[in-house]
Amino acid sequence: MTDSPSSQSADLARRTSEAYDAALEVIAAVEPRVAEATRAELADQRASLKLIASENYASPAVLLTMGTWFSDKYAEGTIGHRFYAGCQNVDTVEALAAEHARELFGAEYAYAQPHSGIDANLVAFWSILAHRVESPALEKHAVKNVNELTEADWEELRHDLGNQRMLGMSLDAGGHLTHGFRPNISGKMFHQRSYGTDPETGLLDYDRVREAAREFRPLILVAGYSAYPRRIDFAKMREIADEVDATLMVDMAHFAGLVAGKVFTGNEDPVPHAHVVTTTTHKSLRGPRGGLVLATEEFAPSVDRGCPMVLGGPLSHVMAAKAVALAEARQQSFRDYAQRIADNAKSLADGFLSRGAKLVTGGTDNHIVLLDVTSFGLTGRQAESALLDAGVVTNRNSVPSDPNGAWYTSGIRFGTPALTTRGFGHDEFDRVAELVVDVLSSTTPKTTSAGAPSKATYTLEDGVVERTRAASAELLDKHPLYPGLELT
């Protein structure tokens, strides 16, 4: 007789607990403070309402995969073509990660080596430059690689590589630092210009994007976001790119789980429309920290040169964990999860709106809810800190045409992936909205020595921290993190 599903689940939880207990015991024998901090991190995550849109909870299988001897192996190069011997097992896990990514997203090609989202974007940028600028230059001079160019030819190519144009979403409209902003290397690599959103609605205006593209004539048109609470029509973005002979690159790091889970389909799925797509593997995809690049076959040879073009040795243990996470994402249970992420974001947004809060774009249809906290008389920094005092973990974020700039900001970004993983649903997210509004309504800016409202400091009404933490604990206790995982 086989064990019942419940007994199998209990047995797996017991063995998982034993695995982590043993691992922490081994760690503590060398540096007990690290083991102590690891235990404390689990306790903190279990006791907090995690609403950061870029965070999630990876499965024990994914987490355990990262703690293996794959970490000890150098593997520069590509599958079957390494610069180090003995990489046959790395070839296996990298090939599995790429296979799962291709099948999951319907991509022609997948590259699993990027260490992070920024690395994935760097690989994409340089791959596009190599394909669009370097390859024609080599053909022009009848050589196979840049080492065969004369010094004068190389100087000409260097100039061309460093003087291309990129058009991406502005930071205050919801774009990302890696989409051409000067503090990031992308802003130093490219002559960059941004497109924004409609000043009245906060929504993406495709006609304005088209006008900007026609005027600027970028080599790369970047679509995607980190804080835009709506979906994008990628078919329209491809039309705009084709009209100006630009390469369409989509950064789907935030919403990759919704693409994988088939919540975004048709024109809202970037993979059939973009030349190159980048993503992280954590966030809504619920895997290990790392990145992926998806591309059409046309760009595959350039992307495959990511190492050594901009990457060092791939993190083989993380690529193995990517393979596990992507295998999880191919299951029906992940599709159900992805739909709950979007449903819960709608519940959270409705909860805010019903209590008089102001949302950028007036709502959401992805996993992000962007709250404008100026109606509470606060900056984003004050709101973020006050919520953290009460055990609600968020991050401050710019809003369109933000009067407080990118440091203090005027918004708070909420995301539903993490608490959805814990099992929160409509009622819980409505309660979360109630708690957030209560905290922000109970927060008052302090005044500076000059008598003006402070942008950073604040006071909280007596009792709000205690009642919020108590209410949060009640919600969290009903949906334990890693149920059955008990450390001794």
Name the phi and psi angles at 356, rounded to 5. 85, 10
Mean pLDDT value across residues 256-284:
98
* C-beta of residue 175 within 8 angstroms of C-beta of residue 168: yes
Question: What's the CATH architecture for 70-329?
Answer: 3-Layer(aba) Sandwich (3.40)
Mean pLDDT value across residues 89-95:
98
* C-beta of residue 459 within 8 angstroms of C-beta of residue 446: yes
* 57: pLDDT strictly greater than 50: yes
* C-beta of residue 273 within 8 angstroms of C-beta of residue 296: no
Cα 314 from chain centroid (whole Å): 20
Per-residue pLDDT at 8: 64
CATH 3.40.640.10 domain residues, the chain: 70-329
Q: Tell me the pLDDT tens digit for each residue of 304-348.
A: 999 988 898 999 999 999 999 999 999 999 999 999 999 999 999
**Burial class, 413, CB count within 10 angstroms (exposed 0-12 / middle 13-18 / buried 19+):** buried
Cα 114 to Cα 291, 294, 318: the distances in Å are 5, 11, 10
Per-residue pLDDT at 74: 94
Q: How does residue 180 score in pLDDT terms, banded at 50, 70 and 90?
A: confident
Rounded CA-CA distance 275/221 in Å is: 10
Rounded CA-CA distance 369/264 in Å is: 17
Helices marked H in 390-463: 405-408, 417-421, 426-441
Do you find a cis peptide bond into 60, omega within 30 degrees of 0? no
**Burial class, 206, CB count within 10 angstroms (exposed 0-12 / middle 13-18 / buried 19+):** middle
Joined tokens for residue 390: 């009460």
* 187: pLDDT strictly greater than 50: yes
* 115: pLDDT strictly greater than 90: yes
Mean pLDDT value across residues 378-389:
97
For helices 426-441 and 380-389, the axis angle rounded to 10 degrees is: 110
Joined tokens for residue 137: 């230059």
DSSP conformational letter for 449: T
Per-residue pLDDT at 450: 80
Per-residue pLDDT at 251: 97
Q: Tell me the pLDDT tens digit for each residue of 427-474.
A: 999 999 999 999 999 999 998 878 788 899 999 999 999 999 999 999
What SS3 state is found at 274?
A: coil
Provide CATH code, domain 342-478: 3.90.1150.10
Helices marked H in 47-87: 60-66
Lowest-confidence region among 31-45, 68-82, 146-160, 220-234: 146-160
Mean pLDDT value across residues 10-34:
92
What SS3 state is found at 401?
A: coil
Spatial CA neighbour of 342 closest among 223, 444, 242, 260: 260
Q: How does residue 132 score in pLDDT terms, banded at 50, 70 and 90?
A: very high
Q: Tell me the pLDDT tens digit for each residue of 209-241.
A: 999 999 999 999 999 999 999 999 999 999 999
Joined tokens for residue 88: 């046959």
Instruction: Answer whether 0.85 is exceeded by the pTM.
Output: yes
Which neighbouring-strand residues pair with 250? 223, 277
Joined tokens for residue 105: 């997203």
Rounded CA-CA distance 155/221 in Å is: 26
* Beta strands 49-50; 453-460: pairing state: unpaired
* Beta strands 247-251; 220-224: pairing state: parallel
Mean pLDDT value across residues 130-142:
90
Residues found in the chain: 488
Tell me the residue type at 4.
S
Mean pLDDT value across residues 20-39:
95
Rounded CA-CA distance 301/127 in Å is: 8
Which neighbouring-strand residues pair with 247? 220
CATH 3.90.1150.10 domain residues, the chain: 342-478
Q: Degrees (nearest 5) of the Cα angle 167, 370, 292?
A: 50
Rounded CA-CA distance 398/406 in Å is: 6
What SS3 state is found at 478?
A: helix
Q: Active-site residues: which are they?
A: 74, 76, 251, 280, 283, 289
* 2: pLDDT strictly greater than 60: no
Pick 447 or 299 by higher pLDDT. Answer: 299
Q: How does residue 1 score in pLDDT terms, banded at 50, 70 and 90?
A: very low
Return mean pLDDT, the chain: 93
* 67: pLDDT strictly greater than 70: yes
Which neighbouring-strand residues pair with 197? 204
Per-residue pLDDT at 3: 47
Mean pLDDT value across residues 280-289:
96
Mean pLDDT value across residues 376-402:
95
* C-beta of residue 247 within 8 angstroms of C-beta of residue 274: no
**Burial class, 289, CB count within 10 angstroms (exposed 0-12 / middle 13-18 / buried 19+):** middle
Mean pLDDT value across residues 60-72:
95
Cα 247 from chain centroid (whole Å): 22
